[in-house]
Amino acid sequence: MKNVDMLVVGAGIFGLTIAERVANELGKKILVIDKRNHIGGNSYSEIDTETGIECHKYGAHIFHTSNTIVWEYVNRFSKFTNYQHRVYSVHNNEVFSLPINLGTINQFFRANFTPDEAKKLIANQAKDAPEVPKNLKEQGIKLIGQSLFEAFVMNYTAKQWQTSAEELSPDIIKRLPVRYNYNNRYFSDVYEGLPKNGYGRLFKTMLDSGGEKITLRLGTDYFNDNELREFTSGGGLTIFTGPIDQFFDYKYGELSWRSVMFKKETLPIHDFQGCPVMNYADLEQPFTRIIEFKHFHPERTSNGYSKDSRKTVIYKEFSKEWKKGEEPYYPVGTRDDQEKLKKYQQLAKQYPNVVFGGRLGEYAYYDMDVTFLSALTMFKNIVTDWYKKHEN
């Protein structure tokens, strides 16, 4: 570990952002490690060799943000397409548009309500929900009323989380907008798009921008490498983006996660479902959604980017219980988890040379833009200060 000023554990968005900033702003030498054989963490994408279609290895990732600093930052490393995400949901063998909008409401109730009429109806259906919802069920009913909740959220959420909606945080569903107009864009952010040449390329450009100041070591697990751990215990600045409970050897018990499993199918047809993401709201289908990747880049298909337009790649997404050692995807965040997390965060204060960041390090359900912002903020507020203190 000679000539290393900072160790970054995890080459996901959080780790790469800190590494890029520290290399280019502070001129330090950084070692970035990841236990996987690629950079980019869960946001990674790569080209499927058989079809030429770009697949998001860990599930559909759409970049969206209203934060200009984040948008300008990511645009330094890649151009973005003008992709706009739209999602549909199958319920009772019928296709509805999501998020819940006036079109969904009118189709569901077989009506032609005006925005005000629809608002009145939903308010009436939501009248029993408490003013301040304590859990996902109360929040869902407050947002869209009992009938729409039962149709589009209750069973989908049961499949996704396999925890009762009364046990889940209201925040999970708060991120879904409800619209009393016909706007069926999934996100309401100011900026949205996909990296023109893929996430994989974006992350590589970030890393390469650090030149020789950043060294990358893939296939390296922090917990199996004594030299790396000695760097940390010897006081070296360490950015840790793995699970915070694992760092402390699960001293207060495990934080709970949901995992996801993807069943990939390459089909000999031009278009399987006509859109990138189709959700399945009922229990009849065991998967939560199907992703058809070619629809994320229509601009590529039309200019012949896809190798064989007669083929398509779909991922069926299944939610899965998480067990220690498996890939953690979604923090469950029960009350018990929140209490454990507080204890771990308290313990972390005794490690001033370790910055816990990202979705695993902070045990948070962060979108990519929030992860970028969190890393940029920690760089400014913590990492820069750390060097100032240690160089004087």
- Spatial neighbors of 391 by CB under 8 A, at least 6 apart, are none
Q: Which is nearer to ligand UDP, 43 or 89 (CB)?
A: 89
Return the residue matching tokens 């296709």.
Answer: 95
Which does residue 9 bind out of ligand FAD, ligand UDP, none, counting CB within 5 to 8 angstroms by kind? ligand FAD
Q: What are the start-end ranges of the E strands in 178-255?
A: 191-193, 214-217, 237-240
Which does residue 145 bind out of ligand UDP, ligand FAD, none, counting CB within 5 to 8 angstroms by kind? none
Least spacing, CB of residue 360 vs ligand FAD, in Å:
6
Contacts to ligand UDP from residues 85-104, by CB under 6 A: 89, 98
216 binds ligand FAD (CB under 6 A): no
Least spacing, CB of residue 140 vs ligand UDP, in Å:
7
Which does residue 182 bind out of ligand FAD, ligand UDP, none, counting CB within 5 to 8 angstroms by kind? none
Least spacing, CB of residue 98 vs ligand FAD, in Å:
14
Q: Is position 258 annotated as part of the catalytic site?
A: yes
156 binds ligand UDP (CB under 6 A): yes
Instruction: Give the residue, chosen from 161, 222, 231, 322, that forms a contact with ligand FAD under the rule CB under 6 A.
Output: 222
Per-residue tokens: 379? 């760089």
187 binds ligand UDP (CB under 6 A): no
DSSP 149: I
176 binds ligand UDP (CB under 6 A): yes
Q: Is position 76 annotated as part of the catalytic site?
A: no
CA distance 387 to 392: 9
Q: Which is nearer to ligand UDP, 102 or 172 (CB)?
A: 172
CA distance 57 to 19: 23
User: How are beta strands 63-65 and 54-56 bridged, if at all?
Assistant: unpaired
Q: Which is nearer to ligand FAD, 60 or 148 (CB)?
A: 60
360 binds ligand FAD (CB under 6 A): yes
Q: Is position 317 annotated as part of the catalytic site?
A: yes
Instruction: Give the residue, chosen from 59, 103, 177, 236, that forms a contact with ligand FAD under the rule CB under 6 A.
Output: 59
Cβ(16)–Cβ(368) below 8 Å: no
DSSP 150: I
Task: Tell me the number of residues near ligand UDP by CB under 6 A.
Answer: 13
CA distance 297 to 308: 14
Cβ(4)–Cβ(236) below 8 Å: yes
CA distance 60 to 291: 7
Q: Which is nearer to ligand UDP, 63 or 240 (CB)?
A: 63
160 binds ligand UDP (CB under 6 A): yes
DSSP 89: E
288 binds ligand FAD (CB under 6 A): no
SS3 46: strand
Q: Which of 58, 258, 282, 387 is catalytic?
A: 258
Q: Is position 282 annotated as part of the catalytic site?
A: no
Q: Which is nearer to ligand FAD, 96 or 199 (CB)?
A: 199
90 beta partners? 95, 280
The Cβ of residue 75 has, within 10 Å, a number of other Cβ atoms equal to 14
The gap between the terminal CA atoms of the chain, to the nearest Å, is: 22
CA distance 145 to 104: 13
Q: Which residues bind ligand FAD (CB under 6 A)?
A: 9-15, 33-36, 41-43, 58-63, 221-223, 241-242, 260, 329-330, 358-360, 366-369, 371
